Amino acid sequence: MGYYSVEGIKQVLADQMTRLEKKFEKERIIDREIPALKKYLSHPNVLAILGVRRSGKSTLAEMLLRGENFGYVNFDDDRLAGVKVGDLHEIEKFIYELFGEVEYFLFDEVHNVQGWELFVSRLREGGGKVIVTGSNSKMLSGELATALTGRHVNFTLFPFSFSEYLRFKGVKIEKFKDTLTTTSEGTVKRELENYMRDGGFPEALKISNDLVFSIFSDIVYKDVVQRLRIKRIELFKEFAVNVVKYYSNEISLSRLSKSLKLSNNTVDEWFNGLVNAYLVLTSERFTNKPREGMTSPRKVYVVDPGLVTSIALDASKGREMENLIALTLSRFGEKLFYLKGSDYEIDFFTGDKAIQVTYASGKDEIPRRETEGLNKVRAKEKVVVTWDYEDEVGGIKFIPIWKFLLMYGSLA
């Protein structure tokens, strides 16, 4: 274990487990809106819970293992910063000494240890059921993917959705069948404004939304700068802020490279780093022409509305709404595409579903281009998400955003 003492490492593991257990005793924990993930551990397997930093991955993993005897290690602990792959066997022995003959293992941010993949693969082959968490989408693209073909399942966790936010805040919603009472509808609309301002990072909601900027900095430094070994740190931070400011818009990486005086290769690498760290999501142009799809600009969305407020500093309701719709579709596993014709654009297009987003509270406020674009495409379902207007006209559904966010699972 190098310069680590045996008792020192045991103490770290004991501290970590104690802290995890205290979290459930002292903090407000809610069930997340997720599929039944534990079924993937019914046989020796590896479940990878991925997603942006501070989205609640370790809390979710611990919830899945409540009532089970499991070993836990958080490799994002600074006291374990120097752990090498050769140390993992010793850590495994310490787990058994502290927690007994465990069947389950939970490893937070294990990708901090280079070469961790074969260690986890060996645990699974020995009958272990392993949950790993990570804040980089590429953590399973190497040896683990090769070693565990058909033996691992990925799940991406986002910060709180709007409905999770409401439950976390303890908002009571009264309704008769599927219709909210007048009072509850007013409460939901008011809380939506708060959600769009504060976002859904659990820790920021528990303490203060001032933490959102700190979370952004952690993502930038720990999940991109350190991983890519970026030396021009301040310039990269400026780049990351610029990318966030493009939210709900097409992004021109070549324009960014010119304005920041960077090479195209550097900009591509930096941008992909932000995507892999789950800070931003991208939408590609829907087209039957592969070359057109490759050369068309991507649209950018930000993983949490609180980041838009804190980093972009641009309160554009229409763009904020579009960003929320992108997050909702992504939570349900939809790949994001936009459709662009010669004289129209569809914000989200899946082939059988076309969705436009507009900040409008009445029929007369809806720009004609929104419905004209929908009339020019073939789709089984055509939707205009509005701020507060509901109707169905000419095969087009107009749905208020609060209702879309709360009911998308049943609408999909």
Tens-binned pLDDT, residue by residue, of the chain (412 aa): 544 577 888 999 999 999 988 888 888 899 999 999 999 998 888 999 999 999 999 999 999 999 999 999 999 999 998 899 999 999 999 999 999 999 999 999 998 898 888 899 899 999 999 999 999 888 766 555 666 666 788 999 999 999 999 999 999 888 867 788 888 999 999 999 999 999 999 999 999 989 999 999 999 999 999 999 999 999 999 999 999 999 999 999 998 999 899 999 999 999 999 999 999 999 999 988 777 767 789 999 999 999 999 999 877 999 999 999 999 999 999 999 999 988 899 999 987 899 999 999 999 999 999 999 999 999 999 999 999 999 999 999 999 999 999 988 544 4
User: Alpha-carbon Rg of the chain, whole angstroms?
Assistant: 23
SS3 content of the chain, % helix, strand, coil (to 5): 50, 15, 35
Q: Which residue type does 29 have?
A: I
Helix 57-64 to helix 6-26 angle, to the nearest 10 degrees?
90
Question: Is residue 264, in this structure, part of any structural domain at all?
Answer: no
Mark out the alpha helices in 199-315 (DSSP H runs): 202-206, 211-218, 226-228, 233-245, 253-259, 264-276, 290-295, 305-307
Question: Is residue 289, in this structure, part of any structural domain at all?
Answer: no
Last residue of a domain, one of 138, 157, 176: 157
Residue 141: predicted pLDDT: 66
pTM for this model (two decimals): 0.92
Helix 116-125 to helix 88-99 angle, to the nearest 10 degrees?
50
Cβ density class 392-405: b for 16+ within 10 Å, e for less: eeeebbbbbbbbbb
Residue 409: predicted pLDDT: 59
Last residue of a domain, one of 103, 135, 157: 157
Mark out the alpha helices in 77-137 (DSSP H runs): 88-99, 116-125
Residues in the chain: 412
Q: Which residue type does 198 have?
A: D
3-class DSSP state of 362: coil
Question: Is residue 307, in this structure, part of any structural domain at all?
Answer: no
Residue 330: CATH number of its domain: 3.40.1350
Give the number of domains in the chain: 2
Residue 318 CB coordination number (10 Å): 13
Question: Is residue 250, in this structure, part of any structural domain at all?
Answer: no
Q: Which residues, at least 6 apart from 394, have a Cβ–Cβ distance to it below 8 Å?
A: 371, 375
Cβ atoms of 96 and 102 closer than 8 Å:
yes
Question: Is residue 210, in this structure, part of any structural domain at all?
Answer: no
Cα–Cα distance for residue pair 9/212, rounded to 1 Å: 32
Question: Is residue 140, in this structure, part of any structural domain at all?
Answer: yes
Question: Which domain, by its residues, includes 55?
Answer: 6-157
Question: Is residue 371, in this structure, part of any structural domain at all?
Answer: yes
Cβ atoms of 41 and 129 closer than 8 Å:
yes
Residue 110: CATH number of its domain: 3.40.50.300
Question: Is residue 259, in this structure, part of any structural domain at all?
Answer: no
Last residue of a domain, one of 115, 136, 157: 157
CA distances from 347 to 20, 207, 250 (A): 41, 35, 11
